[in-house]
Structure 1
Amino acid sequence: MSTVTVSDNGQVVIPAAIRQRLGIAPGSKLDFELEGDSIRVRMLRAIKPTRPEDGFGLLRCDQPGERHLADFDVAAAMRDVRHDRP
């Protein structure tokens, strides 16, 4: 059993071992239910963290030569795609 302290804002930190075991990550949804004088916390949905390589192939660039993601202008690419649509 882990003991945590409630902050002035009513927040608590879920211990790392519990978060890891249940797969609780930023963006996970938790449901709180009062059971007598206890609180039951249930995870509704776990958000799987993404990795940069998960997006491989999503961006297309027809320019020749070596390219770097830092040089890519997302807003310009979105404008180009919108103009290509009929």
Structure 2
Amino acid sequence: METTTTVNADGTVTIPAEIRKRYGIKPGAEVCCVMNGYQLEMRIVGTQLPESNTKPVSGFGMIKSDVPSVDPHVGL
């Protein structure tokens, strides 16, 4: 989901109602802002997210195996 919002004169950003409802963000909720280059990520702190009805994109690491795991960074 992608949506646009506006920063007001005080620097406040309103999280759209659809996003607040979807992620259970209530008044007083704490949101952590993480800067990653030119991207800003907002993470909800201390809120239990609702169950997702979407399938995982990747199943990496979800299958049990007797074979030891391999560190993907070894040999770089």
Same fold by TM-score, threshold 0.5 exceeded? Answer: yes
2:3 alignment partner in structure 1: 2
1:34 alignment partner in structure 2: 35
Larger Rg: 1
Q: Cα deviations across residues 34-80 of structure 1 (Å, max 9, x unaligned)?
A: 01101010001139xxxxxxxxxxxxxxxxxxxxxxxxxxxxxxxxx
Q: CA RMSD in A?
A: 1.4
TM superposition outliers: structure 1 runs of 4+ over 2 Å: none
Cα drift, residue 31 of structure 1:
0.4
Aligned length in residues:
47
Identify unmatched segments of 5+ residues in structure 1.
48-86
Q: What TM-score do you get using the length of structure 1 for normalisation?
A: 0.51
SS of match in other structure, 2:3: coil
Percent same amino acid among aligned pairs? 36
SS of match in other structure, 1:8: coil
